[in-house]
């Protein structure tokens, strides 16, 4: 069985709609709804004890990309995150019980939508689901995305991804 990630909000390679774009409250010049997209998955490999999800922009003009969303410790029996699930503060919002959103490059946990520089080429937003061999990763809400990524590198059984695009 192969791990498959899909979304009712966008298809792989599609442009993300304004509902998912960063809101004015963040101060980067975008005026979207800042709702995390609906995501669902199937085909979890044997040994999956939890899931982790991230959204990363490798095209951000930072020299190291930009982490827009990191969620870990999603229980193994969960197969969907509803529209807007990651948009609440910290580990609140519509995330499943036990799930933890960790710090993004915006400096706080939770989903932060795309908002690339005006006139720049389309940026890629990589939504990646990790099937994890641990019930919980040893991280906290203010753990950096890089440290979460390090932990996932050693504990991921399989992963699946979807790519959304955005340009302004």
Residue 137 pLDDT > 70, yes or no?
A: yes
Residue the block writes with tokens 């969303």: 69
Give the model's pLDDT for residue 88.
Answer: 62
Domain assignment of residue 114, given as a range: 4-166
pLDDT in tens, 11-56: 999 999 999 999 999 889 999 999 999 999 999 999 999 999 999 9
Question: What's the average model confidence in pLDDT over 133-146?
Answer: 97
> Domain count of the chain?
1
pLDDT in tens, 87-126: 865 444 689 999 999 999 999 999 999 999 999 999 999 9
DSSP 116-144: PPTTPPPEEEEEEEEEESSSS-S--TT--
In this structure, what CATH number is given to the domain that contains residue 15?
3.90.280.10
Give the model's pLDDT for residue 94.
Answer: 85
Question: What's the average model confidence in pLDDT over 59-86?
Answer: 96
Q: Are 76 and 44 in contact (CB under 8 A)?
A: yes
């Amino acid at each position: 069985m192969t791990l498959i990630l899909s979304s009712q909000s966008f298809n792989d390679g599609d442009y993300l709609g304004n509902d998912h774009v960063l809101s004015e409250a963040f101060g980067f010049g975008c005026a979207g709804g800042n709702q995390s997209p609906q995501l669902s998955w199937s085909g979890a490999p044997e040994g999956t004890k939890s899931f982790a999800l991230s959204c990363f922009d490798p095209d951000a003009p930072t020299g190291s990309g930009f982490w827009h969303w990191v969620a870990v410790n999603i229980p193994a029996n969960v197969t969907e995150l509803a529209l807007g699930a990651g948009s609440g503060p910290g580990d609140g919002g519509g995330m499943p019980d036990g799930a933890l959103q960790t710090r993004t490059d915006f400096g706080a946990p939770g989903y932060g939508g795309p908002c690339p520089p005006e006139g720049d080429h389309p940026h890629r937003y990589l939504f990646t689901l990790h099937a994890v061999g641990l019930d919980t990763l040893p991280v906290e809400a203010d753990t950096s995305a890089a440290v979460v990524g390090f932990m996932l590198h050693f504990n991921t059984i399989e992963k699946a991804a979807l790519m959304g695009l955005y340009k302004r």
